[in-house]
Chains A and B, each alone.
Chain A
Amino acid sequence: MTGAAPSSVLVVDDEPAIRRFLRTGLEVQGYRVIDAADGTEALDALRRSAVDVLVLDLGLPGIDGFEVIKRVRGGGSSLPIIVLSSRTDERGKVEALDLGADDYVTKPFGIDELLARIRAALRHRLQQEGERPVFKSGDLAVDLVRRIVTVRGEEVKLTPREYDLLRLLVAHAGKVLTHKFVLREVWGGESDVQYLRIYIRALRQKIEADPERPRHILTETGVGYRLRAPD
């Protein structure tokens, strides 16, 4: 982390072992860590302290993770929320994201994975405050002002809808976007997920070096898509 004040992360999980490991891992990276064991404690902590990112387990005793998201978003806050969820619980992930969570990490996870998500979430917040005109990630560059997309320096022709889709992904680079969210933003919510799959395939054909093993547009199976953020 650069800059004066360290970002503070509120970690909410009922497992002491998880809280301990996250505190250690995050503090090493220069974050200030506050922790809470359940939903009530979490909401108290949010009222008392300034928090920059919320790392939230969904299965909490008492007030559960979904309820915490609802109350945070209900209060009008745009605090980045990263959800910790289990494999095979795609529905839980989608529900949390639809309620307003920004991203998720599947348990068990490595600390690097979580750090990448936290960074993406924080960056996104900064971007919203002062949007950059050109997005660059690896061999891909998107000029949002001139609406020009280049791969390895060569311009790629996109249909207007493909461009809208890519722009949405760029705007949320590093963050997972649910099918529902993308459909609503690009198609106005009146379409089926298979249209989205077809456009993603087309887009990959145009911007990926190997469309079978995409490096830019990543599939989050059963949840949605994520554009790889620049490192």
Chain B
Amino acid sequence: MDDRPDRDKRPSPDALLKAAEQETRGRLKVFLGAAPGVGKTFEMLTMARAKRQEGVDVVIGVVETHGRVETEALLAGLEVVPRRRVEYKGHTLEEMDLDAILARRPKLVLVDELAHTNAPGSRHPKRYNDVEELIDAGIDVFTTLNIQHVESLNDVVAKITRIRVRETVPDSIIDRADEVEVVDLTPEDLVQRLKEGKVYLPQQAERAVRHYFLPGNLTALRELALRRTAERVDEQMVDYMRAHAIQGPWAASERVLVCVNEDPSVAAVVRYARRLADRLHAPFVALHVETSASQRLGDKERDAIAEALRLAQRLGGEAVTAPASDVAGGIVSYAEQNNITHIVIAKSRRTRWSELLRGSVTHHLIRRAGDISVHVIAEPPGPEVPESQEREAVETAARPASFELGAYGVSAAMVAAALGIGLLLQQWLSVANVSLAFLTAILGSAVAYGLWPALFACFVSVLAYNFFFLPPLYTFSIADPENMVALFFFAFVALIASNLAARVRRQALGAGQRAKVTDELYQFSRKLAAAVTLDDLLWATSYQVALMLKVRVVLLLPEGDSIAVRAGYPPEDALDEADLAAAKWCWLNNLPAGRGADTLPGAKRLFLPMRTGRGPVGVVGLDSDRPGPLLTPDQRRLLDSLMDQAALAIERVNLARDVDQAKIAAEAERLRSALLTSISHDLRTPLASILGSATSLGTYGKSLDDKAQAELIRTIQEESERLNRFIGNLLDMTRLESGAVEPRTDLVDLAEVVGTALERAAKVVADHDVAVDLAADLPMIRCDPVLLEQVLFNLLDNAAKYTRPGTEIRIQARNVGGGVRLDVLDEGEGIPLGDLERIFDKFYRVHAADRKRAGTGLGLAICRGFMAAMGGTIVAGNRVDRPGAVFTLMFPAQAEDAAGRERAA
């Protein structure tokens, strides 16, 4: 119909994707039978044995032999995975052990009776869910199914056999099957087998079942099974042709739309649409048009609509709710925008009178549908045969009664006011015009309170107008026929006007509600944009969801290889085991789990994945005290849009965090490379001198004069010492960074430490004048003498490096108010102002123009680290009396100690 890409001969991406998925998944083979007893299990076992012969690893997950000897004989020699026992209400039920099979990982597993409902408390409510998990895990599955269990054929079968089957399997699982084999038996043979007692029948249902096995029924069922299989084969062929870009005769652009309303029988219409869509190879969409009238629907009707939309989703369709002013217009405009080719609608069960009064949607639709085919389906009389597996009754709180006394009171008051004004005005105006005052009151009532109060106002107005203004006055009778006509028209106009006004009001209310939702969504996105930390974001999200959907919310984010609760409203920090299992399953499989979902429905909460285009980011868990389904389809869609926004925001925060981490990593990398440069330079330079000198001595030792030999030996010695200092620095730095520096804090004589530092540094400062000026009144200081000696050595080494030979290096110490202050002053060029702090950074070196030797970039960093470890400080500055640097160490004051007193004594 339109230009779909099928026209070009490239393989369709969807078809290719499907084929690719098939390769990692296990293969599913369904043995489909028209009725029980046709021999599906027997056929499945026979095939399995053949596979076994071929060497395939086959196990039996679950097979029901129902005591049939031939079938049991086939079991011999096949491995059976023991069933799991489940205690339920005092009975012991045996169920297939899904986890055992997953752990066993056979190539092929046999799972009988696909439509089986699992015992409560199992991971999945239905056996077909188990089978899907097995296939997803890459295990091939053989399974059996009777045609009456297929969801889309459910009501057809019910009609044929007058028995509604409680256990259904969605059509999608048959569509997913890689192979469907029909196990066929003529009705005559089957009836014969039944008579011979070869068909297993549950005792209690015998009478009903006998009806089921009437030859006429069996023929119809058999035809259904064969036709369903043929349809599937057709689909497979289409898939194949699409994947291989073979031009085919399929109508690529057919689209089916089914209209959903609150009628309880709407499910049958949805199923019809699915069958139609199947035959057309078309997608289908279920549409509910929300008009102003929808606002007045009760909860029961809303639930019926929600259930029909969910049914459509289960059947593989799309569910949409669209607002419009009238139903037919809404359907047509949606259909036109979405290239719908077929519209399915139920034949109205309204009375002719009601149609006349309110118009027929069907008629409007057919008139306005243009070239879209409209299928009008006869609805079954009365509500559908109730499904045995009834969904829980939705016991939501009753809506507040729409009868509000206040509205009627005020409406009456408005009419009374109109009466007063009318009595006043009638002195100047004609009686006919007085009616306008009443009309105003009626319209006011309609706008303020809606239809019913307006009708009430209308009635009262007519009475009052008659009583007070139409002769004979103060009676309810009317003398003048002309007035009679006028009153009639007044009543008519008032009715129409109040109706219109009330409709406007409803639409305004609806628009207001939608605007409120839109506004809340907007506010939410602003809040998310403003949230900087992940915690803010999660809190805002859980609060907003809780507020808008009136539920309790928890948010879970990945932590390690699992997930954990990160936020909740109301706050919640732990989940019970069932909930945690459901949340984990949801996270791992990216599918809903828990309450109301297909997996682990026993959990208290419903868990839904939060995801962005880049993948899942977390899980949201919802619950409330209301029984029944947590969310209506509207709320589900609202939740989806909230979660989409939240997921994007979470991803944004995560990305920002990743960027920060990358920055930190880059800084660490810069330091590491500086360290490597430093090490390679500072280790290699002295080593080069040592190796060079040693090889010179070794090779030419004898031919060198004494002076040259002494020179080489001195080089080796000095460079070894330099190397030793550098390695010492590296070790000190490593000890500092690993936290291995544990200063011993003794009371130490500063003069003594200065002495040992000078002794060690004698060679380093040999070319400089060293002046020591220690005050006589210095107290003992509490420090580690080994570390302090290293600090002083590094400062002397540093001063010697950055100043000219022959200049003075002065060490002076004073007792100042807060403790002892020690300065190391040199006569160099001083330190650039911007570098005063940075020189204490690791690997930072001031680039002096005429520097003699590169520093290691570690000495001062070690000084600061050691001083901090001892509880002191070190700062750098420039001298004020002359050019030159000064390093100042401060040691906090010590309490006067016993030793001092003894010495004084």
How many angstroms from the CA of A198 to the CA of B728 in the assembled complex?
A: 30
Given A87-B728, A194-B780, A221-B786, answer yes or no on A212-B749 (Cβ-Cβ < 8 Å).
no
How many angstroms from the CA of A214 to the CA of B732 in the assembled complex?
A: 27
A21 at the interface (CB under 8 A from B): no
Contact B897 A194 (CB under 8 A): yes
Contact B751 A201 (CB under 8 A): yes
- Tell which of B393-401, B565-573, B753-761 binds the partner: B753-761
B735 at the interface (CB under 8 A from A): yes
Contact B747 A194 (CB under 8 A): yes
Contact A195 B752 (CB under 8 A): no
A-side contacts of B728, CB under 8 Å: 87-88
A-side contacts of B899, CB under 8 Å: 192, 194-195, 197-198
Contact A195 B749 (CB under 8 A): no
B-side contacts of A158, CB under 8 Å: none
- Closest A-chain residue to B785, C-beta based? A221
Pick from B717, B747, B756, B759: contact of A197, CB below 8 A.
B747
Q: In the complex, what's the smallest C-beta–C-beta distance from B742 to chain A, in angstroms?
A: 10
Contact B747 A222 (CB under 8 A): no
- Closest A-chain residue to B720, C-beta based? A108
- Closest A-chain residue to B772, C-beta based? A212
Given A195-B902, A213-B758, A222-B786, answer yes or no on A200-B752 (Cβ-Cβ < 8 Å).
yes
Contact A201 B758 (CB under 8 A): no
B642 at the interface (CB under 8 A from A): no
Contact A211 B753 (CB under 8 A): no
Contact A88 B731 (CB under 8 A): yes
- Closest A-chain residue to B748, C-beta based? A197
Q: In the complex, what's the smallest C-beta–C-beta distance from B71 to chain A, in angstroms?
A: 74
B774 at the interface (CB under 8 A from A): yes
B724 at the interface (CB under 8 A from A): yes
A193 at the interface (CB under 8 A from B): yes
Pick from B735, B754, B786: contact of A90, CB below 8 A.
B786
B853 at the interface (CB under 8 A from A): no
Residue interface bits A185-198, CB-to-B below 8 A is 1, else 0? 00000001111011
- Closest B-chain residue to A223, C-beta based? B786
How many angstroms from the CA of A193 to the CA of B902 in the assembled complex?
A: 14
B-side contacts of A221, CB under 8 Å: 753, 756, 785-786, 789
How many angstroms from the CA of A130 to the CA of B129 in the assembled complex?
A: 101
Number of A residues near B (Cβ < 8 Å) is 22
Contact B753 A212 (CB under 8 A): no
A-side contacts of B789, CB under 8 Å: 221
Query: Most chain-B Cβ atoms within 10 A of its Cβ — which of A88, A108, A200?
Result: A88
Main secondary structure of the interface of B (DSSP, over half): helix
Contact B749 A197 (CB under 8 A): yes
CB neighbors of B among A196-229 (8 A): 197-198, 200-202, 211-214, 218-219, 221-222
Given A193-B746, A194-B899, answer yes or no on A211-B751 (Cβ-Cβ < 8 Å).
yes
B350 at the interface (CB under 8 A from A): no
How many angstroms from the CA of A192 to the CA of B898 in the assembled complex?
A: 10
CB neighbors of B among A54-96 (8 A): 87-88, 90
Residue interface bits B866-905, CB-to-A below 8 A is 1, else 0? 0000000000000000000000000000000101001100
Q: In the complex, what's the smallest C-beta–C-beta distance from A165 to chain B, in angstroms?
A: 14
Pick from A88, A194, A219: contact of B746, CB below 8 A.
A194
B-side contacts of A214, CB under 8 Å: 755
Query: Most chain-B Cβ atoms within 10 A of its Cβ — which of A195, A221, A222?
Result: A221
Contact B786 A201 (CB under 8 A): no
Contact A212 B755 (CB under 8 A): yes
Contact B749 A201 (CB under 8 A): yes
B-side contacts of A213, CB under 8 Å: 755, 758-759, 772
A3 at the interface (CB under 8 A from B): no
Contact A201 B752 (CB under 8 A): yes
- Closest B-chain residue to A219, C-beta based? B756
B-side contacts of A87, CB under 8 Å: 728, 731
A153 at the interface (CB under 8 A from B): no
A-side contacts of B744, CB under 8 Å: 222
Pick from A88, A192, A198, A212: contact of B903, CB below 8 A.
A198
Q: In the complex, what's the smallest C-beta–C-beta distance from A21 to chain B, in angstroms?
A: 12
How many angstroms from the CA of A211 to the CA of B753 in the assembled complex?
A: 12
How many angstroms from the CA of A90 to the CA of B780 in the assembled complex?
A: 21
Q: In the complex, what's the smallest C-beta–C-beta distance from B787 to chain A, in angstroms?
A: 9
How many angstroms from the CA of A33 to the CA of B259 in the assembled complex?
A: 107
A133 at the interface (CB under 8 A from B): no
How many angstroms from the CA of A164 to the CA of B243 in the assembled complex?
A: 105
Q: In the complex, what's the smallest C-beta–C-beta distance from B235 to chain A, in angstroms?
A: 77
A110 at the interface (CB under 8 A from B): yes
Contact B717 A219 (CB under 8 A): no
How many angstroms from the CA of A218 to the CA of B759 in the assembled complex?
A: 10
B-side contacts of A218, CB under 8 Å: 759
How many angstroms from the CA of A90 to the CA of B746 in the assembled complex?
A: 14
Q: In the complex, what's the smallest C-beta–C-beta distance from B745 to chain A, in angstroms?
A: 11
Which B residues are within 8 Å of any A CB, using their own CB? 717, 720, 724, 728, 731-732, 735, 744, 746-749, 751-756, 758-759, 772, 774, 780, 784-786, 789, 897, 899, 902-903
Q: Can you name 19 A-B pairs with beta carbons within 8 Å?
A: A87-B731, A90-B786, A193-B747, A194-B746, A194-B897, A197-B748, A198-B749, A198-B903, A201-B749, A212-B751, A212-B774, A213-B758, A213-B772, A219-B752, A219-B755, A221-B785, A221-B789, A222-B785, A222-B786
Which A residues are within 8 Å of any B CB, using their own CB? 87-88, 90, 108, 110, 192-195, 197-198, 200-202, 211-214, 218-219, 221-222
Known: A108-B724, A219-B753. 17 other contacts (CB 8 A): A87-B728, A88-B728, A90-B786, A110-B717, A193-B746, A194-B747, A195-B902, A197-B899, A198-B780, A202-B903, A211-B751, A212-B754, A213-B755, A213-B759, A213-B772, A219-B752, A221-B789
